[in-house]
Amino acid sequence: MNPKRLLLCTDMDRTVIPNGSQPEHPAAREQFRAFCLQPEVRLAYVTGRHLQLVQQAIADYALPEPDYAITDVGSKLYQCSDGDWFEMELWEEQIATDWRGKSHAQLEQALRPISALTLQEQKKQNRFKLSYYLPLDADQDRVMQRMQDRLAELDVAASLIWSVDEPKQIGLLDVLPQTATKRHGLQFLQQQLGYTHDEVLFAGDSGNDLPVLGSSVCSVLVANASEEVKQLACKMASRSGHADSLYLAQQSGFSLGGNYAAGVLQGVWHFHPEFRPQLQGIEL
């Protein structure tokens, strides 16, 4: 593959934000910022964070400002230009059909009898994202099946996205429109911007990244990802026939290592060798 441009899509927490337990190379984020300033590169954050937390992370961690942001686990999409953020309303119109006119409150009411679920804070909810906490020792499969049964009674087409807040050791369970995952948001953005399949790269680390990591989208799993996520991503990619589309960044063998932003750049190195001259500090 030999693209002349790159749509670089990356998760934030524990991917370009070094808020996991593993160490970050001190030059990694600086190199990441420098790479994203290349005129051939467009940057999109694809994150579970809502807009205010995205903006806060950019300031707190000196991250490059993106061109686009897919937030709230895929349920919101923004364009960013010179510090101004504009919601892309066409995306919300598209995903709205999955909930068949049902409101956030109606879905929450239907799921209320499932006692294992604890509703997340109001700021973590939106019109098309209903988010819960679920203890790690809960019967996840049984809870999710009960949720799907109740949502089916409402004729709602939903995706249930599971991930783990590792620092807090709590499960996160998001109810989204069926076509509002990170993968769907990324594909919508790719189509809107006119990028080919070979001009897109995704980077992630956690459970809510698995719909992309296990797909045909060229993806890198940063080295600091948990062994469980690495195994699941490899299994999903293999089952879908796209094992070659997934790259696991390595902490050893590269001068910046493979944790966090260094792992993202390592993925660029692997999938897009034409960009290697711009990747200072990544060399073997």
pLDDT at 1: 46
| Fold for the domain defined by 6-92+180-278 | Rossmann fold (3.40.50)
Alpha carbon separation from 196 to 37, 137, 150, 170, 189 (Å, rounded): 21, 42, 39, 37, 11
The architecture (CATH level 2) of 101-177 comes to Alpha-Beta Complex (3.90)
Average pLDDT over residues 145-163: 95
What does residue 112 show for φ and ψ, rounded to 5 degrees? -60, -35
Has residue 158 got a pLDDT over 50?
yes
Has residue 2 got a pLDDT over 70?
no
pLDDT band for position 283 (cuts 50, 70, 90): low
Domains of the chain, residue spans: 6-92+180-278, 101-177
pLDDT at 12: 98
pLDDT at 165: 87
143 within 8 A of 163, measured Cβ to Cβ: no
Q: How does pLDDT run across 238-260, given as a tens digit for each residue?
A: 999 999 999 999 999 899 999 99
Helix (H, G, I), strand (E, B) or coil at 111: helix
pLDDT at 140: 93
pLDDT at 3: 52
Contacts by 36-41, CB closer than 8 A, 24 or more apart: 36/8, 36/64, 37/64, 38/275, 38/278, 40/4, 40/5, 40/6, 40/275, 41/5, 41/6, 41/8
What span, in angstroms and rounded, lies between the C-alpha atoms of 214 and 70? 18
Which tokens belong to 116? 């294992």
